[in-house]
C-alpha cells in the first residue's frame, strides 16, 4: 500500500426530510448570506427550492439565487454566477441539485476570489488557494461531487471538458442527502448515475499497486450492493431502501475511500469527457459505452484485475486464463448495463451513429499527452482501438 493522506471533512446529513435542516446547517457552518445555485427547474417543480428557502429564512439567513445550470455545465454560466456573487457578496454557496450544479458552484467558489478568469484554474495556468465555503442539497446520486474536491466544466469555445481537484478547499462543508428526493428522477438519469458511480469505483479498482486488499474488497462489495439495489430501483422507483443504498454508494464511490494507498486510472473518464464535450451526452451513459470497450482492450493488454473483478463480482468461473476471464467480464458488464439499466453500450445507441473518432482522439491526446498513464499505457493507437471497440 502506498503512503496516503485522506481528508474528508464533509458533514453528511442523510435521510428523509433532511432538507428541512439546511438553514440550521448553514448557520452552524458560519453562513449569513447564501447564494443558492440550481439547475434547469427540477427543484422548482418538486417544491424543493421553496422548502430550502423557507428553511434559510427561518434561520435568519439572507439569500439570493441563480438557476439555469445545464447538465455538462459550461464556462459562461460560471462567469454569470461569479458576477452575481460579486454583487450579492455571499459568505456561503448552496448548490441544490446534482453534479452539474455543484461543479458550477465549485468553479464560482474559486473564481470569486481570483482577479483573472476562473478558467485559468481548469487550464492549469493558475492554482486556487481560496474558495467560498459551500453546503450541498443533493438530488441525484451520480457524480459524487457532494463528497469530492473536484469540479468538471466544459469550455464551449474550445470544446474542452476538464476538471480541477482541490480537496483541501473544495470539499463541501455539509451535504444534505434525502433519498426520497431521488424518486422523481427519470429512469435514464437514475441509470446513468449508477453507471457513473460504478465507473468511479472501477477507475480506482483498476490499479497496478499490489496488495491493497482494503480498496479491492470495498470496491467489490460496493459494486455488488449497487448492482443489486439498482435492479430493485429499476423495478420499483419508490423503493426507499434501495434508493438510500445507491445514494450513499455514489458518495463513497468518489470520496476517495476506495482509492487510499493506490494508483488510480481515470482514462475511461478522460475518453468519455471528450464524448460529452463534443456531443453533449449524459456522462454516465457515455461511460456505459466506453467502460466495457476499455475492459475489452484491457483483457488483451493487462487482464489481471479485470479477471479478478469478473471472478469476485460477475460470477465468472476461473478458467485459468486471465485474458479469457477478463473478456468475459467486459461482456458481463456490457450486458448488465444494457439489459438491466437499459443504457446504451455503443456510440450508435448513444445517438451518435457516425462519431468523429479522429477528432475525439486528437483532442484527448492534446489534453492528456502523447501517452496516457494508468492501469495501461495508452498511446493514440490504443485509445483509437478502444473508441472503435465502442462503435
Ligand atoms: O437541471 P435539472 O432540472 O435540475 O435536472 C437535472 C438534469 O437534467 C436532473 N435531475 C437532477 N436531480 C433530479 C433531476 N430530475 C428529477 N428529479 C431529481 N431529483 O438530472 C439531470 C442531470 O443532472 P446533473 O447534475 O448533470 O447530473 P450528475 O450528478 O450526473 O452530474 C453530471 C456532471 O458531473 C460531472 C459530469 O461530467 C457531468 O458534467 N462529473 C463531476 C465529477 C466531480 N465533480 O467529481 C466527477 C464525475 O466523474 C463527473 O465527471
Ligand atoms: Zn464520472
What residues line ligand 1, using a CB cutoff of 6 Å?
A: 39-43, 71-73, 97-101, 103, 139-140, 142-145, 148, 150-152, 181-182, 184-185, 189, 193, 196, 254, 269, 283-284
Q: What's phi and psi for 8, nearest 5 deg?
A: -140, 80
Q: Which residues contact 50 (CB under 8 A, 6 or more apart)?
A: none
- Interhelix angle 99-111/75-88, nearest 10 degrees: 60
Among 42, 199, 272, name the best residue to mutate to test ligand 1's pocket (greatest count of ligand atoms within 8 A of Cβ).
Answer: 42
pLDDT band at 90 (very low <50, low <70, confident <90, very high): very high
pLDDT for 227-285, tens place per residue? Answer: 999 999 999 999 999 999 999 999 999 999 999 999 999 999 999 999 999 999 999 99
Nearest alpha carbon, ligand 1 atom 38: 72
Q: What are phi and psi of 98, to 5 degrees?
A: -110, -160
Mean pLDDT of 100-126: 98
Give dist(CA 222, CA 141) in Å, integer.
14
Work out the pLDDT band at 157, boundaries 50, 70, 90. very high
Average pLDDT over residues 339-368: 98
For 281-310, what is each residue's pLDDT tens digit?
Answer: 999 999 999 999 999 999 999 999 999 999
Q: Are 44 and 162 in contact (CB under 8 A)?
A: no
CA 212 – CA 217 distance, rounded (Å): 9
Bridge partners (DSSP) listed for residue 151: 164
Exposure string (b/e) for 318-355, b if CB count within 10 Å is 16 or more?
A: eeeebbbbbbbbbbbbbebbbeebebbbbbeebebeeb
Q: Give the model confidence (pLDDT) of 115-128 as tens digits.
A: 999 999 999 999 99
pLDDT confidence band for 215 (50 / 70 / 90): very high
* Ligand 1 centroid, distance to 327 Cα (angstroms): 31
Cβ–Cβ < 8 Å for 243, 182: yes
Q: Which ligand is nearest to the CA of 167?
A: 1
Amino acid at each position: 500500500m502506498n503512503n496516503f493522506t485522506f481528508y474528508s471533512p464533509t458533514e453528511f446529513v442523510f435521510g428523509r426530510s433532511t432538507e428541512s435542516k439546511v438553514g440550521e446547517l448553514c448557520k452552524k457552518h458560519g453562513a449569513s448570506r447564501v447564494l443558492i445555485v440550481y439547475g434547469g427547474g427540477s427543484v422548482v417543480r418538486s417544491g424543493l427550492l421553496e422548502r430550502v428557502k423557507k428553511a434559510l429564512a427561518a434561520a435568519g439567513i439572507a439569500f439570493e439565487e441563480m438557476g439555469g445550470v445545464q447538465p455538462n455545465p459550461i464556462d459562461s454560466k460560471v462567469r454569470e454566477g461569479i458576477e452575481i456573487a460579486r454583487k450579492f457578496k455571499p459568505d456561503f454557496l448552496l448548490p441544490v441539485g446534482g453534479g452539474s450544479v455543484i461543479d458550477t458552484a465549485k468553479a464560482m467558489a474559486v473564481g470569486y476570489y481570483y482577479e483573472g478568469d476562473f478558467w485559468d484554474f481548469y487550464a492549469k495556468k493558475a492554482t486556487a488557494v481560496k474558495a467560498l465555503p459551500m453546503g450541498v442539497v443533493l438530488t441525484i446520486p451520480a457524480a459524487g461531487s457532494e463528497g469530492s474536491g473536484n469540479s468538471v466544466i466544459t469550455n464551449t469555445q474550445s470544446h474542452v471538458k476538464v476538471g480541477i481537484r482541490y480537496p483541501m478547499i473544495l470539499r463541501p462543508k455539509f451535504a444534505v442527502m434525502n433519498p426520497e428526493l431521488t424518486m422523481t428522477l427519470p429512469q435514464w438519469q437514475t441509470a446513468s448515475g449508477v453507471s457513473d458511480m460504478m465507473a468511479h469505483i472501477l477507475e480506482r479498482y483498476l490499479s497496478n499497486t499490489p496488495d491493497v486488499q482494503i480498496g479491492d474488497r470495498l470496491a467489490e462489495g460496493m459494486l455488488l450492493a449497487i448492482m443489486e439495489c439498482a435492479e430493485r430501483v429499476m423495478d420499483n422507483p419508490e423503493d426507499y431502501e434501495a434508493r438510500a443504498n445507491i445514494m450513499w454508494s455514489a458518495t463513497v464511490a468518489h470520496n476517495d475511500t476506495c482509492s487510499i494507498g493506490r494508483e488510480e486510472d481515470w482514462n475511461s473518464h478522460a475518453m468519455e469527457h471528450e464524448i460529452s464535450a463534443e456531443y453533449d451526452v449524459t456522462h454516465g451513459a457515455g461511460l456505459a459505452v466506453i467502460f466495457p470497450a476499455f475492459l475489452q482492450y484491457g483483457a488483451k493488454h493487462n487482464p489481471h484485475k479485470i479477471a479478478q473483478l469478473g471472478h469476485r463480482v460477475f460470477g465468472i468461473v476461473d478458467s485459468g486464463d486471465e485474458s479469457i476471464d477478463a473478456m468475459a467480464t467486459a461482456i458481463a458488464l456490457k450486458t448488465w448495463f444494457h439489459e438491466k439499466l437499459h443504457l446504451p453500450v455503443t456510440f450508435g445507441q448513444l445517438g451518435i451513429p457516425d462519431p468523429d473518432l479522429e477528432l475525439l482522439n486528437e483532442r484527448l491526446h492534446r489534453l492528456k499527452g502523447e501517452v496516457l498513464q494508468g492501469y495501461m499505457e495508452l498511446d493514440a493507437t490504443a485509445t483509437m482501438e478502444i473508441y472503435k471497440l465502442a462503435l
